[in-house]
Amino acid sequence: MLRTGIAIVAIGLLAAAIGPWLVPFDPASQELALRLEAPTTLHPLGLDELGRDVLARILAGARISFFVGLVVVGISAGVGTLIGAIAGYLGGAVDDVISRVIDTLLAFPGLLLAIAIVAVLGPSLVNVLLALTLIGWVGYARLVRGQALRAREFEYIQAARALGAGAGRILWRHIVPSAMPTIVVQATLGMAGAIVGEASLSFLGLGVQPPTPTWGTMLNGARAHLLDAPHLTIFPGLAIALLVLGFNFLGDGLRNRLDPKGG
């Protein structure tokens, strides 16, 4: 499972990195006379409703998906890890306040909360990143808080405290490193969630705006051609499904490798 996940993610990352240079068509160039053309040798995945090459647009959309995933996961993991570690280690009133905030955010469906945020702020890539980050840090905070609650009772943590180590040093040198396996697994699964979240918001018209190609906007434009041009729906849908499946395989494989008893 781990090798399968690595292979799928590596292929997706390679396609996003160099794919647009390998396709001889600009994702924005139009051939209106050939609109909705089925896959051919020249256009392996066909053309869309405006005569744009579907393969070129999928490869360009892969860049957006990876960019959103990396930014959202990076910020969410950093903020969530810091907040969760502080809550778990300090305990008391600090933990109570942070836990109530986490519980409140977890009470709302993540995608619906993201839709509400973007609807208020307006559709754009920056607002998509902000919305997904605001709902993404909670999962990391909850997991790291649990790790910190257990780790602070370990003998080596108590010994470091007795030797005069400050809270910051204990958090940075002991608590956070002990939670890294959990954070890594959550990050890989978080990539899948961020990709689906961005695609969903774009599909609803609340994400990245045209003419920038994203997988969600491609599916949105393909709704009117489900019967006469099914390739417009099939290929972007497969791209999302395969990449999300790859990150899920990667996360499950890492969980089994880093924590065999828990896997």
- CB neighbours of 96 closer than 8 A, spacing ≥ 6? none
- CB-based contact 15:263 (threshold 8 Å): no
**Angle, in degrees to the nearest 10, between helices 125-151 and 54-90:** 40
The partner residues of 47 in beta bridges, in order of sequence, read 53
Q: Is 60 exceeded by the pLDDT of residue 261? A: no
Supply the pLDDT for residue 24: 83
pLDDT for residue 210: 82
Model confidence band, residue 173 (pLDDT cutoffs 50, 70, 90)? confident
Instruction: Give pLDDT, residue 132.
Output: 94
**Residue 160 pLDDT > 80:** no
- List, in order of start, the domains of the chain with CATH numbers: 2-10+52-258 (1.10.3720.10)
In the predicted model, what is the mean pLDDT of the chain? 89
Distance CA 217, CA 200 (A): 9
Query: 117 by DSSP, 3-state: which?
Result: helix
Mean pLDDT of 149-171: 77
pLDDT attached to residue 2 = 86
Indicate if the pLDDT at residue 180 is higher than 70: yes
pLDDT of residue 260: 52
Exposure on the CB side of residue 184, measured as CA atoms within 13 A: 14
